[in-house]
Chains A and B, each alone.
Chain A
């Protein structure tokens, strides 16, 4: 097999990598928003409960969570498809990190923003949705892009629960043919090809928000 053939073979797994990433986002984005906001708004017992859920997903090792949900849950009669387990575990892990960016973004806003909006008679939900979140999310955009890249790279683990992603394909090819250098270099390249455009996009987003700040200083 030529290097090109190996690379194309690995890219066979791209569909799974992309699917897990996309489904992962479906878990990650709502989790990050809901739990980040909840952690910002709640106090007392509710705050502790929200924090506990976030910390569970954020601080557990992804690989262990994958095994637990894929291999242990069936023992108590819960059988989830591998792709669901993978998307959920990776997504909620990324969402756990994302929630912290959401909360930090909200907390970093000047208190005067809330006060000015409240003084106009806006209800709490409107203040959050129209004043606080738009500013917090823009401010945190570079962090979200980084976390998105982490999610893509994290999908390499799903080969451990039998999904034929790019990493799994690389291992298959490596078994057929003794060329570890060619295979794993191609695998590195494959992830680079997927992630680099996102990095470029992230830089563009960062520059755009930085550009606005530049404008601010100018006047």
Chain B
């Protein structure tokens, strides 16, 4: 919890992050590793032989046209979507279909959805403390302290007693991020976290995500916010028709993509 605050003081983070990342040296186990992952919806081949490794502290942006399998891939990572072949490892542990094991793994994998998915019948505070209390067994006051810390971190001051419907979209999404952070996850998954927001609210959510990246959080983000990819990602993955077409650093990805399909996509995106 305290590392969160210390990093807030980092002034010009992009340079520092690079150093910090390098300083860790060649990494031990990958935070997430998908190998030869295949997924079918009935006869539709949604994920084709996906190989993807997210190193600890890695920040990977996944982009690609609609229906390319981005959500499906990210949902396979925390077992919300079962897959038919291949493996997914979280911190070196194989994802199985055993519910107990899945529950345990999910504690260390935070997820933020396009539609926020806050619990509308619970206050902001209760949204954040629910899993702390029921899953981690924290006391009411301990959970409230943790929640207050992360709510402050996503810049939601003084709204803890409100219900989700009383907040703007941007505020709701930031609460959703705080709710996930409360579990102190080792990795955060984002599935188009800004796609259903009004344009003026996109920045407040991206700012929080950029902060998280600066703090060294391992992140796997499906997003079409190319500004975010440029600024915060260290790898961009381009998917099309269920396959990973290209993986590159943001600089290479935007300036000199190697695949024709990537170029076509970028032309459309950045026009």
Contact = CB atoms under 8 A, between A and B. Distances in A.
Interface of A: 110, 112-113, 115-124, 126, 130-131, 134-135, 138, 212, 215-216, 219
B168 A219 contact: yes
Given A115-B80, A116-B117, A135-B121, A121 B166 contact: no
A105 to B, nearest CB: 13
Contacts of B56: none
Interface in B97-142: 99, 103-107, 109-111, 113, 115, 117-121, 130-131, 134-135
A119 B119 CA distance: 13
Contacts of A110: 115, 117
Given A120-B179, A122-B135, A115 B121 contact: no
A121 B107 contact: yes
Contact of B134 (A112, A118, A126): A126
Interface residues of B, number: 30
Given A122-B103, A215-B165, A219-B168, A138 B121 contact: yes
B131 A135 contact: no
B166 A219 contact: yes
Nearest to A109: B120
Contacts of A130: 130, 134
* A-B pairs, 5 with minimum CB distance: A116-B117, A112-B117, A120-B131, A121-B107, A216-B165
B167 interface: yes
Contacts of A134: 121
A111 to B, nearest CB: 9
A122 B182 CA distance: 14
B183 interface: yes
Contacts of B78: 119
A106 B115 CA distance: 19
A122 B134 contact: yes
Contact of B106 (A113, A121, A126, A219): A121
Contact of B119 (A117, A118, A138, A212): A117
Interface of B: 78, 80, 99, 103-107, 109-111, 113, 115, 117-121, 130-131, 134-135, 165-168, 176, 179-180, 183
A101 to B, nearest CB: 18
Contacts of A123: 99, 103
Contacts of B176: 116
Contact of A121 (B104, B117, B165): B104
A120 B133 CA distance: 11
A115 B180 CA distance: 13
Given A122-B134, A131-B119, A134-B121, 7 more contacts: A110-B117, A115-B113, A119-B180, A122-B131, A135-B120, A215-B165, A216-B165
A169 B107 CA distance: 63
A215 B166 CA distance: 8
A116 B183 contact: no
A115 B131 contact: no
B135 A121 contact: yes
